[in-house]
């Protein structure tokens, strides 16, 4: 380079002198359209591509560094974040469960507040029966909580079953779908009495309703109080289907309580009849207005009792003393 | 013409480098600038001849040193710009720098002592000087200056004729070899 300069000394000098004068001119002359000195305009124009190139280069270099090279902690951070994510997911599930539990407890509380006259005991379902032929569950209330046999168990949606065995801190509850279970019941509108009997299927049947009785799907069934377990007026379910039989109709009942999703239940300590619910629950259903005068024959068949000679479970329940312990059959 | 050019073409080693009395280039350059300013008062007549340009050509060709030629051209051009009332300083400077460099380069390769050669060289350098000025004004000042006109042709012919006489007078400032 120096050799080339010395060999072309005169050319280098020429270039220097001309350049100096060009710069001198550029300093004096202003650009016509922007009133900026040419030297400044040229400087900016000359430096901008370099600046843009430098910015592009360093941004790519920074991206390359942060995206490829400076990743020595990425795996550890990734593991940490996965661990945190797992913990947070677990925590989230816990909170969701707590929220659901709070919601259920709120419903129970509301139900209890709506029926302050009745003594109730909230309980949680802790397990179910190991026998597939038996529809029973276990709750976390027992003798220490003053739970006794044949106490009714309900939810705000409807009745569940009754206590059949009491242990010190837990109790076994027979669901209304168990084939050994019977509940004294009646239609809420016609007040016709019968017995809801478990069959082992999800839908129990309502028995002892004569063929003359007009039964339609969707009719509401409530407890009649004759079994001395459930107070009168608790919601049992609705009619799912009804067809004629001999001598009684075969009526399938859709339980009001979600028996397959029981978590929190209420143990009825007393048999006091519940007043109509303030929160729209299905309990304490007010007696329906008297039905229109039926024919004489129909009237006799809809007055709670089946034909003479037929002993209904409801009747047998009603005939038992209040302190009985035998399950209803 | 061909004979003159043939006899004028010599190798660089055989071209004689003329020496001048000390300070003569400085004084002549100063006088040329003063004269140009003086002639400028007379308008078109003063514009016919660019005396500083002729001085740059003469001393550059005679000294046959590109560095000397371009520096002399730069100095005279900048002074000429400074004496003008509206030229940005450097406009004539650049043009005369290039003329001084080219003239000294040409002078190192050609015999420029013959009057015809001096006439032709001056004619060509006048137009080269004008072209450089026009380009500079177009690029830097955004002014559209014609590269060639009849007036420029006349000016160049007059300048070339004056140069033949002036260069003969300036030859008297040379020191005898």
How far apart CA B94 and CA B136 sit, in angstroms, is 9
For chain A, the domains span 2-60, 120-288+309-318
Helical H segments across chain A, by residue range: 2-7, 9-28, 38-64, 74-114, 296-301, 313-319
Confidence band (pLDDT; 50, 70, 90) for A277? low
How far apart CA A86 and CA A140 sit, in angstroms, is 31
CB contact under 8 A, A22 and B90: yes
How far apart CA A172 and CA A166 sit, in angstroms, is 6
Size of interface A-B (CB pairs under 8 A): 52
CA A39, distance to chain mean position in Å, is 76
Q: Which two tokens stand for residue B133?
A: 């000025």
pLDDT in tens, B114-124: 899 999 999 99
Q: Which two tokens stand for residue A223?
A: 């407890």
Provide the shortest C-alpha distance from residue B97 to chain A (in Å): 7
Within 10 Å of residue B175's Cβ, how many Cβ atoms?
A: 10
CA A97, distance to chain mean position in Å, is 9
- Cβ neighbours of residue A205 under 8 Å, at least 6 residues apart? A196, A197, A199, A250, A251, A252, A253
Give the position of tokens 């080269």.
B128
Q: What is the pLDDT of residue B75?
A: 92
Q: Which two tokens stand for residue B140?
A: 């830097």
Q: Which two tokens stand for residue A170?
A: 């837990």
Give the position of tokens 């309990």.
A283
How far apart CA A46 and CA A105 sit, in angstroms, is 76
Q: Which stretches of chain B drop beneath a pLDDT of 50?
A: 1-13
- Strand A193-197 to A182-187 pairing: antiparallel
Nearest residue of B to residue A22, measured between CA atoms: B90
CA distance to A143, A149, B128, B167, per residue, from A262 (Å): 21, 20, 107, 124
Does the predicted interface ipTM exceed a cut of 0.85?
no
Would you say residue A20 has pLDDT above 80? yes
| Topology of the domain comprising A120-288+309-318 | Thrombin, subunit H (2.40.10)
pLDDT in tens, A288-306: 444 443 333 333 333 222 3
Q: What is the pLDDT of residue B177?
A: 67
pLDDT in tens, A75-134: 888 889 999 999 999 999 999 988 988 887 887 788 777 777 678 888 989 887 666 667
- Which residue in A25, A32, A38 is closest to B91 by CB distance? A25
Q: What is the pLDDT of residue B110?
A: 80
CB contact under 8 A, A13 and B71: yes
Residues in chain A closer than 8 A to B91 (CB atoms): 25
Q: How far apart are the first and last CA of chain B?
A: 28
How far apart CA B72 and CA B26 sit, in angstroms, is 9
Question: Does the bond joining A208 to the residue before it have cis omega, within 30 degrees of 0?
Answer: no
């Amino acid at each position: 380079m120096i050799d080339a300069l010395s060999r072309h000394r005169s050319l280098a000098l020429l270039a220097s002198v001309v350049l100096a004068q060009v710069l001198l001119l550029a300093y004096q002359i202003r650009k016509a359209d922007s009133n900026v000195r040419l030297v400044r305009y040229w400087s900016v124009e000359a430096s901008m591509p370099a600046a843009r190139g430098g910015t592009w280069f360093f941004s790519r270099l920074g991206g390359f560094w942060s995206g490829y090279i400076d990743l020595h902690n990425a795996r550890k951070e990734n593991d940490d974040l996965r661990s945190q994510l797992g913990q947070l997911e677990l925590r989230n599930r816990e909170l969701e469960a707590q929220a659901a539990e709070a919601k259920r407890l709120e419903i129970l509380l509301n139900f209890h507040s709506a029926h302050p006259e009745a003594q109730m005991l909230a309980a949680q379902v802790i397990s179910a029966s190991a026998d597939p032929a038996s529809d029973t569950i276990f709750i976390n209330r027992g003798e220490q909580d003053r739970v006794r046999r044949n106490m009714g168990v309900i939810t705000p949606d409807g009745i569940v079953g009754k206590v059949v065995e009491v242990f010190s801190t837990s109790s076994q509850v027979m669901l209304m779908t168990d084939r050994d279970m019977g509940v004294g019941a009646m239609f809420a509108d016609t007040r016709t009495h019968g017995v809801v009997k478990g069959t082992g299927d999800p839908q129990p049947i309502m028995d002892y309703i004569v063929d003359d009785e007009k039964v339609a799907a969707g009719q509401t069934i409530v407890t009649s109080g004759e079994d001395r377990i459930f107070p009168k007026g608790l919601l049992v379910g609705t009619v799912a289907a009804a067809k004629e039989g001999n001598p009684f109709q075969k009526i399938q009942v859709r339980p009001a309580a979600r028996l397959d999703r029981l978590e929190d239940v209420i143990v009825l300590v007393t048999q006091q009849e519940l007043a109509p619910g303030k929160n729209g629950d299905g309990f304490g259903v007010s007696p329906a207005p008297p039905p229109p005068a039926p024919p004489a024959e129909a009237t006799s068949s809809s007055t709670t009792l089946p034909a003479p000679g037929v002993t209904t479970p409801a009747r047998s329940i009603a005939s038992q003393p209040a302190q009985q312990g035998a399950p209803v059959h | 013409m061909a004979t003159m050019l043939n006899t004028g073409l010599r190798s660089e080693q055989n071209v004689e480098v003329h020496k001048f009395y000390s300070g003569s280039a400085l004084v002549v350059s100063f006088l040329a600038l003063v004269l140009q300013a003086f002639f400028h008062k007379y308008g078109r007549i003063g514009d016919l001849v660019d005396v500083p340009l002729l001085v740059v050509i003469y001393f550059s060709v005679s000294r046959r040193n590109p560095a000397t030629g371009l520096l002399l051209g730069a100095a005279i051009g900048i002074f000429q710009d400074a004496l003008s009332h509206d030229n940005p300083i450097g406009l004539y400077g650049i043009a005369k720098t290039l003329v001084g460099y080219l003239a000294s380069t040409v002078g190192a390769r050609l015999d420029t002592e013959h009057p015809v050669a001096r006439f032709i060289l001056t004619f060509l350098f006048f137009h080269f000087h004008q072209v450089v000025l026009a380009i500079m004004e177009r690029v830097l000042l955004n002014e559209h200056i014609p590269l060639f006109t009849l007036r420029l042709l006349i000016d160049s012919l007059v300048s070339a004729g004056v140069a033949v006489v002036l260069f003969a007078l300036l030859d008297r400032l040379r020191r005898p070899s």
